[in-house]
Structure 1
Amino acid sequence: MAEREVFDFASFRADNAHHPVSGFDYIHAVHHTQRLPADFALWMATLYWPEFMRVDDWVFVKENFDDAYYHSLLESDNSPARNQFWMNLLEVTGLFENLSVPEATVIANALAGSWNAKLASEFGPSFAQARALIDDEYCEVFVTIGFSD
């Protein structure tokens, strides 16, 4: 794969100082110049508005669900609430490795907000909630559904 010029929003805005540009213009420019496949945009949409599935009265992000792993967790000493937590755990800092913890926290909070809106629309407002988790010690940021100590 050929190396493409990588640029951030600040440099994009500076290079286009002769006219106003928005974050949406930046998204378009990155998508076009990096020649990202169309399904990349669809997967980004799925990240923020995932398909959920209910299993045994618990909710899971369908993309993360693994039936064999789920059944192995059922045989463990974990509670079903903990199983839901662990199976839905998504490391934002692992997905986007170049983000700082504060930047990843913004993403995780946006994901939690989007997931909660979808959870409420599908299952009602009192259903399990998504939330961001920040591990300052290891500089990791996550989003998951349910369980809280």
Structure 2
Amino acid sequence: MTAPAPDAPSATIWRAIHWGFVAVFASGACVHVILALTTPRSYDGFGDAGLFGWVENGWQSVFMAHPTRWALLLAAAELTIAVLLVTVPLAGYVAVVLFHLALMLFGWGFWLWSVPALALAVPAAVHTARAGTARVR
């Protein structure tokens, strides 16, 4: 028995969500490269609103010790997520979910972005898993 074919509007919505995440992570990578190379100290206050003391302390002692290197690594991670979303979508969505869960550690303000992103990424991952395809249709 085969699964019913997805209706066209539903498939269009899933494609839009998918390519939206690809665009967000690819453009995020570009932004981090620009910031890393031009104003690496702009990351200085990012960890200040962390939900736990170890988030703020870790940010200051680890990331801000070498902000250019870490920002470039962050850019590479975001670009990797974008590439995974295109090549291995389910793995890409797992990375999207983990990225947003980690981002939420940096303060309640990031929940305003992360909760809606997770509300799209988790169902998109489920849809991708159920479709059982290597590519988004």
TM-score interval for Structure 1 and Structure 2 normalised by the shorter chain: under 0.3
Larger radius of gyration: 1
Return the structure number with greater helix share. 2
Which TM-score applies when normalising by structure 1? 0.26
Return the structure number with greater strand share. 1
